[in-house]
Amino acid sequence: MRRARNETIQAALRDFARLRGVEFDGLREDQQNSLFEQFATIHILRKHVSDLEIDDLEQVSTGGVDDNQLDAVALLLNGRLIVDHADALALIELVEPIDFEIIAVQVTTSTFDRFRIKAFTLGMHTFMSDVAYYKENNRLSEMRQLKDLILRECAARDVPLRIRVRGYFAANSALPVGPTNLHKEFAQGRDVLLGVDIVDEAEVQPVEHQRLASLISRDPLAALYSTAPEPYSGYVPSAHLVRLPQSSGAGECWMGAIDYRSFLLLMTREDGISLREEAFEHNVRGYLSHTTVNRRIRDTLLSEDRFKFPLLNNGLTLVAETILESPPAVQGGGARLKLSNYQLVNGLQTAHVLHGEREHLLECGETLFLPIKLVATDDAPLQRRIVDASNRQNQIAGIALHANDPKSLEIHHLIRQREAQAGENWPMIFERRPGLPRSRPALPDAQQIDLGEALRAFVATFLDAPHRAEAGLRPTLEMVGSTVLIPADAPEAYMTASLLLAHTRRYLDRAAEAAFVHEFSPYEYHLVYALRILVEPHPSPGPRDGKKTLEYCEVLEERCLRLELMERALERATRAVRAARKRLPRSRFKRPMEAAALTRNVAVEAERQRRGG
């Protein structure tokens, strides 16, 4: 199988393989293709059957010889997966009317092909017909018999029946921008299925790799997948390193020096030029560029004193999952250490300056050594203590201490996925911590939202406490660990709250009247709260209510990407906040934006605006 073109798919596919008890890289190409078909099938079907488990794939799988281009077929009665005659009869006896959905899936690891799409449509058509046009394998024949039983029993009992046929053709590639013959083929497939007398609704949809990645990222099953980047490793020579006695919680610890060329090999990608940014994820601060300290580091490196660098610099600290002694790369070479999935937790400023001056330093012709400490541990608390202790020489802002919390990393990972999928309507540039590389969305006036602002938006939106959010960052940070950034929170709640804040700020930035901006800027988190009520009026299920939270956030996210809808909703949100402030007895409050009474008034007025009052 060719390498997946989407990093989300590639990483999730490897984890899916492990859940099936195999290692993806150890499979033959035909086995990799078969595994990808299972992988894509379950995530497509779980869009309709949310409780479908990996072990349930056998119940819907029809792929193989004589499958008529149908890798899977799922039969649903009122949203419930039916797998045998007893299930079907039991439900038909108890419930009416019946919504009968027939879902077919075909997966290919190559590109979209119009002839295969046509064959897939014909396969669905023959499955829906009274008699098979082509030879069917045993599994497909059993599914046909179950379908016929449902139709026959509903007709005999005069049960109202609505039949919907959905076909999903998935390929591990992009779909060309339409209109093309491929798009026409999908439209014609729908018409072919609607030509079957018993079919009330039909659709044949493409699932290209970006849409598959989106289905994966929205699927609770993805919680079983690792959100870590692809594994990577690097080597350092051990000639000038000393192993320290084993410490509690740490498997290996080495200290000493490595040469500059080895540093470049360790910290740059395979192209030998760009920095390996994933190795800086757990550093609490980003590159600060032209600071006094960085200028002094650069000045030293460019002077004749550069070989005194180990005496003048505190050095680099790397934490790795494992550190293993490795044989020399070439015969006669020195011993090496192999580091896997390492993070540079101290020395980011130094590393960037060293990388920036690589051409000059490589031309010197003499060996430059760098002080270094290497630690191997999978003990997360110990890793955080090392990060904290290694960065005490400079003050760190309160929110930076939470930049590497597991939930913060999960939120960042989710936002990266959604930003890549959303395209030109993504309104936000998320900053988990200063200095991390950011992609800039196509929306020209996208708003930058940092982690602290995302947490405050979450407090306003999902904890119904915009007055706490307006009181500044400190009250929100005091909630971390109790009601904010806790393991049970859905990262989607933080992301959608941040999207609402980005739209609010974008709306205020685009306002023509300075007086209008001056009036509402102090109340932006109340605007966010009102906006949530106006855009998705149902009561919020809270951030940790499982499927309900995910469904609620999915609706919010979809509406946040409709710019005209958000503009109209924000017009009503400003009217709601203005009316809520007028109802507030200001004499009782020193800072009315921080009053719980204002929050209650905003909820009432937003609901009134929603109903057109």
pLDDT tens-place string over residues 531-557: 999 998 777 888 888 889 999 999 999
* Predicted local distance difference test score (pLDDT) of residue 359: 83
Note if the pTM is more than 0.95: no
pLDDT for the residue numbered 3? 36
Please tell me the distance from the alpha carbon of residue 54 to that of residue 213, in angstroms, as a whole number. Answer: 17
* Torsion on CA atoms 140, 145, 150, 152, rounded to nearest 10: 140
Q: Over the range 457-476, which residues count as b (16 or more CB within 10 Å of their CB) and which as e?
A: bbbbbbbbbbbbbbbebebb
Count the Cβ atoms, other than its own, within 10 Å of residue 567.
13
CA 93/CA 590 separation, integer angstroms: 65
Q: Which amino acid is at 259?
A: D
What is the predicted pLDDT for the residue at 424? 79
Report the candidate in 527, 538, 540, 537 with the shortest Cα–Cα distance to residue 577.
527
Q: Where are the alpha helices (DSSP H) in 95-237?
A: 114-128, 138-156, 181-194, 209-218
Task: Give me the pLDDT at residue 574, please.
Answer: 96
Which tokens go with 467? 């007055």
Could you tell me which of 566, 548, 414, 574 has the C-alpha nearest to residue 540?
A: 548
Give the pLDDT confidence score for residue 74 in this predicted structure: 95
- Other beta carbons within 10 angstroms of residue 162's beta carbon come to 12
Q: How far is CA 219 from the centre of its chain?
A: 10
Instruction: Return d(Cα 395, Cα 391) in angstroms, integer.
Output: 8
| Nearest Cα residue to 41 out of 161, 168, 185 | 168
β-strand pairing of 316-320 with 369-376: parallel
What b/e sequence results for 359-372 when a residue is b if at least 16 CB atoms lie within 10 Å of its CB, and e otherwise?
A: eebeeeeeebbbbb
Question: Residue 395: what pLDDT?
Answer: 47
Would you state the structure tokens that stand for residue 33, as one six-digit string? 């293709």
Q: 209: number of CA atoms within 13 Å, CB side?
A: 21
The whole-number mean pLDDT for each consecutive block of 10 residues of the chain, a chain of 613 residues, reads: 53 85 83 92 91 87 90 93 90 86 93 90 92 85 93 91 95 76 90 92 90 82 65 88 75 89 88 78 60 77 83 86 83 84 85 86 81 82 65 57 83 88 85 70 83 95 94 89 91 96 93 88 95 87 88 92 93 95 68 82 91 71
Judge contact between 249 and 380, C-beta under 8 A. no
Say what the pLDDT of residue 8 is.
67
